[in-house]
Structure 1
Amino acid sequence: MRKRVGNVTVLLGVAILLCACSGRKNVADGTSIELKNPADTSIETAQEVTTDVEDQLPESAEAFEAYTEEQAFEAARNYYISITPGYEDNNETGDYWDVSTNEKGEIVVLYHSYTGAINRYYVNATTGDTYVTEQVPGIIDDEQETGETFNINDYLENAR
């Protein structure tokens, strides 16, 4: 008996929900009226809205050009040379540079020193803002920010 009462209660609840969601309201005399969806009504405002994309673009189209991996590499290398007096490229000692783009869209310039230290320069491809991390396997196993920041535009030979 309890199972039957439970089923009837559930069926009545579903029937009430279906009636409430139908968008019609039954009036006592048997007629029904259509309820208007409030989202269909329009509200006039005094504010003008611009939808043309061209109106929203800055006058300089360069603002939306992303920096390339080559530019990021050049700037990171120039920055490293500026803070490391006496640095010379030397493949014989085992140091090397690498550049890639990570899943966040940041350009990552990696410098692996002959000492084993790994510096990574994370470049925001649209703004050029860069922060530096360092990792020394066996000493500093996790990559840690060094606090160094710069904009690659300051270290590019052909700056924008």
Structure 2
Amino acid sequence: MAIDRLAYIDRLKTAGISEDHARAHVDALRDALHDTVATKNDVAAVRQDFAAVKHDLEAAIATLDHKIDERFSTLDRKIDERFGVLNHKIDDRFGVLDHKIDAVNGRLDSRIDVAVRDLKIWTGSGLVILFTLLVGVRFFG
């Protein structure tokens, strides 16, 4: 912060302060403000620093974003591969179960066919016996 020393000294002298005291006031004020008040150049330098940091952060975020995308792609691929393996195993197991069910159905069909055949034979035999009895009663009766 720039101070017009001469104008400041003149104002203090006009207010009744001696020139030595006025100069001491100006020097003390200048020393106090020198390290604590930012100049336009100081602010511009800080803005440049912030712009550089912002640029670096944006680049770092873009890099991390790319790495995260790659990681998710890798995980998606691994999950798809794992599900493919599991689906294949499930298909194999269902194939085995289908084969077993078909075998059981075949045996049941065979047993049902034998049971139906035996029932027909017994029914036919029963009808022959019944017919023979009816004929015997009618003719020998």
Asked if these proteins are the same fold (TM beyond 0.5), I'd say no
* Bigger strand fraction: 1
Considering only CA atoms, is the larger Rg found in Structure 1 or Structure 2? 2
* Bigger helix fraction: 2
TM-score of the superposition, structure 2-length normalised? 0.18
TM-score of the superposition, structure 1-length normalised? 0.17
